[in-house]
Amino acid sequence: EDQVTQSPEALRLQEGESSSLNCSYTVSGLRGLFWYRQDPGKGPEFLFTLYSAGEEKEKERLKATLTKKESFLHITAPKPEDSATYLCAVQAAGTASKLTFGTGTRLQVML
Amino acid sequence: NAGVTQTPKFQVLKTGQSMTLQCAQDMNHEYMSWYRQDPGMGLRLIHYSVGAGITDQGEVPNGYNVSRSTTEDFPLRLLSAAPSQTSVYFCASSYANSPLHFGNGTRLTVT
């Protein structure tokens, strides 16, 4: 059974204080690992897809990395508008677009 | 761009009542799916469809029915609502093996 574990559950940072979110996974053949951002009362918004160990993707202050067992979402010099819940999900090979999600990390960036 | 549209945004039902959650997408995506999101749990797949006329069960299908008569629409039916179905429901769509696009959810309370 595919599993995704995210840590920490919640994280509070000062503006400009860089940190990383962790996503550990077990999957029977990884097709892709996905990062989403979710704001309160909204649906998840796609950020990145990573396909193989060693791959990295960047978008503004966010950088996602992937190993064979985990992924990290690095947040550099965060701003209050980066406050959101960040979700990690995996897709197993041969499963169309069916995703298994973690429970998310709730990030709060303070002024 | 409308993307994925879900209606209603909020709904309160009494135990035993039936209702249909609507989902429509205007991106010509062949893949559509329904997830539920509960506190402390990741998004869980209820049902999915890989194209018009084709549906299949996800992780938590009991108590829900779906049909896919057109590419655009993928309604979720609750035949006899139970308090355990109190949740936030998200519809998503994508091209095959591409990132999911989510709607903004329907918040359902069953009393």
Query: Is the peptide bond prior to B8 cis by the omega test (within 30 degrees of 0)?
Result: yes
Q: Which residues of A touch B45 (CB under 8 A)?
A: 98-99
Chain A positions in Cβ-Cβ contact with residue B90 (cut-off 8 Å): 43-44
Q: Return the pLDDT at A95.
A: 82
User: What are the pLDDT digits (tens) for B67-111?
Assistant: 999 999 999 999 999 999 999 999 999 998 789 999 999 999 999
pLDDT recorded at residue B46: 97
The string of DSSP letters for A46-58 reads EEEEE-STT-EEE
Q: Does A14 touch chain B (CB under 8 A)?
A: no
A45-68 burial code (b ≥16 CB/10 A, e <16): eebbbbeeeeeebeeeebbbbbee
Q: Is A78 on the interface with B (CB under 8 A)?
A: no
Contact residues on chain B for A86, CB-CB shorter than 8 A: none
- Mean residue pLDDT across chain B: 96
Q: Who contacts A80 (Cβ-Cβ below 8 Å, separation ≥6)?
A: A15, A109, A110, A111
Q: Where are the beta strands (DSSP E) in B26-80?
A: 31-37, 44-51, 54-57, 64-66, 76-78
Cβ contact A43–B41 (<8 Å)? no
Residues paired with B66 in a beta bridge:
B76
The minimum CA-CA distance between B25 and chain A, rounded to whole Å, is 14
Q: Which of A72, A12, A84, A73 is nearest to A41 (CA)?
A: A84
Using CA atoms, how far apart are residues A10 and A20, in angstroms rounded to an integer? Answer: 12
pLDDT of B1 above 70: no
Contact B97 A4 (CB under 8 A): no
Is the CB of B45 less than 8 angstroms away from the CB of A98?
yes
Query: Is the CB of B33 less than 8 angstroms away from the CB of A97?
Result: yes
Q: Is the pLDDT of residue A8 over 90?
A: yes
pLDDT(B11) > 80: yes
Q: Is A98 on the interface with B (CB under 8 A)?
A: yes
Q: Does A42 sit within 8 Å of B104, measured CB to CB?
A: yes
Q: Average the pLDDT over B14-21 and give the result.
A: 98
Mean pLDDT value across residues B12-32: 97
- Rounded to 5°, the CA angle A26-B96-A6 comes to 30
A29-44 average pLDDT score: 96
**C-alpha span between A20 and A3 (Å, rounded):** 20
